[in-house]
Structure 1
Amino acid sequence: MAVLLNCSSRSNRAAEQRARLWELLRERGFVAEVLCAEKGPQLGELARRVARGPYDLVVAAGGDGTVNTVASAIAGTEKTMGVLPLGTVNHFAKHLGIPLTLEGAVRTLVEGRRVRVDVGEVNGRAFVNNSTLGIYPGIVRGREALRKRRGLNKWVALALATASGIQRHERVHLRLVLDGQEIELETPFVFVANNDFKLGDVDIGRQRPPCSGELGVCVAHAESRLSTVKLIASAVAGRIHKSTDFSILRTTALRVEAPHRRLYVAADGEVLRMATPLCYRVRPLALRVVAPLSSELNAGSRRREDPSRRIAALGG
């Protein structure tokens, strides 16, 4: 087993987590290589190297960005991904039902079962949760700039960046091509869901998750700054499904055309600058992951039990 630990923390937390992780794995009888890397190109290169190695189980120890990096490297292979949720939001771990404590997550690696889940893709870049364009990538970039420049807490920086994004009220002109339809619109954001309709802990859709092989496409129609504020407030309050400024579509593939040569796109919270058009697709059941035995997943119809039974067999 290889464990990829996101060591981009500015404190001693990463070193403490690494020591505790070694202790818990030894207690469970695992022989593991714990590899530490900074988030970004260093972690991506490490994940690709591990994917080419002899490991049966590759564990993402970090937040959703770390999960995305590991999933991108091993999707479509016979390797299995484990998750140790050490990030802030841990959306994918919550989706799988993985305990958010380190002890509980390590226990899941031993006692859990292998299941297969879909992987979304935009211009060849994988995502396991969602991808967003419009106002949200700008908010993420603003949040990270504030954290770097002023050393702010992540949630404080997010609130300030969101207020700034709403103040600018930037809308993007897009043409969406999906399942034979063409939709032309100006919108503050488009949200493409791979598993459910949550952006972090905010439930955007409150509808059934996409089925296996589907993407859920959420489109905001807010035409003014006030409409955008109301839409975000409805999402936070869990009432966005009642809004007339919001619609949800389902598709097997999506093409997004724009007048700009490049757009900022968020994939599992990581912001990338991508060439247009943006081509979204689903890779059905392309990723094998370890889930708790009792987990039904939020999207039961997307889950398929792997015939190799329990992951505990990897421990010898």
Structure 2
Amino acid sequence: MRVALVLNGAAGALLGRPREAIAARLQQILAEAGHEPRVMVGQGPELCRALDAAIASDAEAILIGGGDGTIIAAAERLLPENRAGTGRPLGILPMGTANLLARDLGIPLSPEAALPALLAGIPRRIDVALVNDRIFLNSSLPGIAPRMVQQRERMRHDPGPLKWLRLLRAFFRGFDRGPRLHVVLQADGRPVRLVTRTLAVTNNPLAEGFAAIHTRTALDGGTLGIYAARIDRRLDLWRLIARIVAGTWQHDPAAAALAARRVNVISRRPRLWVANDGENHFLATPLRYRILPRALTVLVPRTDPDTPDMPEL
């Protein structure tokens, strides 16, 4: 099989590691499995050109190594042919920070382990969500989340423990001092007035559990999940955080949850910052959310116990 593999050279998993050596090892795994590999590494505009070249090639499968933002860039390019029913599958090598979609798909979180698992995998169709025609595969977050994304980028090269402590401090400051969103949600036509500091629209509803690294009840249910936190007192915030850690946050009185196929977020502001899968966008209001059922084909590992062992680096 002809395989195009594109690696984001700026992905978190490659920071401090020799990206050429990793690319060579992944190419070796592909060749040893009998495939015809074309491996490309880039970042910024170079990455966009590599993605365009991979899509324009005669590759029968497109594999992408990067974080959730890189996966979105590849999915945007593959979506037209996928929706036409002739699309090639997208394989995800998790190389970001959270790798939420890879977790939901059961893909090993090491790229060296994920590659052979995907080569022996099977295609699966999943939903794609949109806000103002920009796609997201995990979540779209107006409110304080775009500030968190900016903080993450500023601390990209900080050591691990220091980075997470600073992000946690920025999170608390956002809830404590950040501006409130005054919005009206139209969920499948039903209006809901809401005042919150954070709002989340997810591609399929979330399952219970630790919300920072969340899982979803399905990836092809054709429904958006809508979540907001109504925080009036600091006590409400601390109680909600405790329940987030415990995995019972959906039962907290400060947490509001809805499900719908279409959602409009109406605001008095002409534009809102929105974080789509960790990438910030400044979008005109109202924010119009919808879902495209089973619009993207991805590769997932087989659950067959007879799947052969995976090679390691």
- TM (norm. structure 2) is 0.84
Identical aligned pairs, as a percentage?
35
**5+ residue gaps in structure 2?**
82-86, 305-313
Letter of the aligned partner of 2:58 in structure 1? Answer: P
Instruction: Indicate if the aligned counterparts of 1:261 and 1:275 stay in contact, CA closer than 8 A.
Output: yes
What is the match of residue 271 of structure 1? 280
- Inter-partner Cα distance in structure 2 for 1:169 and 1:4: 38
Letter of the aligned partner of 1:61 in structure 2? Answer: G
**5+ residue gaps in structure 1?**
296-316
- Inter-partner Cα distance in structure 2 for 1:250 and 1:205: 17
What is the match of residue 6 of structure 2? 4
What is the match of residue 41 of structure 2? 36
1:57 matched to 2:66? The reply is no
Deviations 1:149-183 (Å, cap 9, x if unpaired)? xx353434422322332332432111111212111
Instruction: Indicate if the aligned counterparts of 2:143 and 2:180 stay in contact, CA closer than 8 A.
Output: yes
Give the root-mean-square deviation of aligned CA atoms: 2.5
3-state DSSP of counterpart to 1:76: helix
- Inter-partner Cα distance in structure 1 for 2:15 and 2:117: 28
Deviations 1:95-127 (Å, cap 9, x if unpaired)? 011112233311122211011000011111111
Letter of the aligned partner of 1:12 in structure 2? Answer: R
What is the match of residue 223 of structure 2? 214
Instruction: Indicate if the aligned counterparts of 2:205 and 2:224 stay in contact, CA closer than 8 A.
Output: no
- Inter-partner Cα distance in structure 2 for 1:45 and 1:265: 25
Q: How many residues align?
A: 292
Aligned to 2:135, which of 122, 126, 151? Answer: 126
Aligned to 2:29, which of 24, 27, 38? Answer: 24
3-state DSSP of counterpart to 1:170: coil
Letter of the aligned partner of 1:172 in structure 2? Answer: L
3-state DSSP of counterpart to 2:113: helix
Query: Post-superposition shift, 1:45?
Result: 4.6
Query: Post-superposition shift, 1:198?
Result: 7.0
Query: Post-superposition shift, 1:84?
Result: 0.9
What is the match of residue 79 of structure 1? 88
Query: Post-superposition shift, 1:49?
Result: 4.1
Query: Post-superposition shift, 1:42?
Result: 4.3
Match runs of 1:278-289 below 5 Å:
278-289=287-298
- TM (norm. structure 1) is 0.83
- Inter-partner Cα distance in structure 2 for 1:24 and 1:104: 10
What is the match of residue 257 of structure 1? 266
